[in-house]
Amino acid sequence: MAPPRLDFKRRFNSCSSATQILQDEIVEGKTVLITGGSSGIGVATVEAFANKAAHVIFTGRNVQSANDLIQKIKVTTPHAKVHFMPVDLLSLKDVRRFAEEFTNHHGTLDIVIFNAGMFGGSHVITEDGYEAAFQVNVLSQLYLLGFLKPLILKATGPRIIFVSSDWLKQTTISLSNLSEEVLSPSANSYPWRQYANSKFCQVLLSQYIQTHWGSLGVNSYSLHPGNLIATNVVRQWRLGQALAWLFKPFTKTLDQGAATTVYCAAAAELADHGGEYWADCWIAESFHGKQPKLAEAVWNLCEKMISAKVPDDYTRTSS
């Protein structure tokens, strides 16, 4: 399905960097939360916003990598407001702990970037009983969003960003087969298929948010950062690591890989273009187009899956 035409000229392309994107954008003072910010394109995303005087909070599991990143930023931007808060997205309990700590210290949230991702090389079931990649890429970040929603709605022109992937073209999800077993297989399954399904779900969640939260002033975007960028997302898949190393001279740098994320999060001209799918800093063809019925069904099923594993006081984000 062809994307809609835009009413402005293209300023950036596949060679643009996150640093270039923010040269003429005003993000000073904005509060930005970036999941998975301690590695890969998350690092470049954190650096870009921190160096432009945004208040950046980023998550991850590697404390040493996070501290190294903060020290690096402080060298070039001594007064940067950048903080690390660890969270394990393989645990809904830890997501809740993080969310409660975050909401206790922050009153508003301007930009949320769901950048954290996992490509499972082997079939792993989390402590919550779900397939690991699907929990990290979808369930845990949706659960977190429920806690963040009140802070997001207090901001002016807030944006929610899902770093998806063109792998979504390999998805097997449809209205006719949608089930918990399809989203989170209990038995061994192809890792690339699970990754594709989780990335497709991220696009659908973004579409749902735009439909149901757009009237509240929220804009949501999903995007493809680039192919085979040398990140840690395939750390559990040896073939993926080999391919990333082999094609590294021909793929985007981390700063270029973060460019579309930063463009969706900060570009003024995108204020009225939420709900779309982006690549190379431009609107892209979403392989499956807009699917509001499927987006609604996936959202509701994911919330049902979360509700089954968390305390009874969980408030669904659709409410």
Catalytic annotation, residues: 195
Cα torsion angle, 100, 102, 104, 108, sign: negative
Count Cα atoms within 13 angstroms, Cβ side, for 10.
Answer: 13
CA–CA distance, 286 with 271 (Å, rounded to integer): 19
CA–CA distance, 250 with 280 (Å, rounded to integer): 15
Instruction: Please write down the HEC assignment for all residues of 215-232.
Output: HHCCEEEEEECCCCCCCC
User: Going by C-beta distance under 8 Å and a sequence separation of 6 or more, which residues neighbour residue 9?
Assistant: none
- Residue 259 in contact with residue 21, Cβ under 8 Å? yes
**Which H or E run includes 86?**
strand 81-86
Q: Sort residue 94 into left (φ over 0), alpha (ψ -120 to 50) or beta.
A: alpha
Which one, of 71, 102, 75, lies nearest residue 86 by Cα?
A: 102
**Strands across the sheet containing 81-86:** 81-86, 55-60, 31-34, 111-114, 159-163, 219-224, 277-279, 282-283
Cα torsion angle, 303, 304, 306, 310, sign: positive
User: Going by C-beta distance under 8 Å and a sequence separation of 6 or more, which residues neighbour residue 117?
Assistant: 36, 136, 137, 163, 165, 233
Specify the residue for token string 């990333």.
Answer: 244
- Residue 125 in contact with residue 131, Cβ under 8 Å? yes
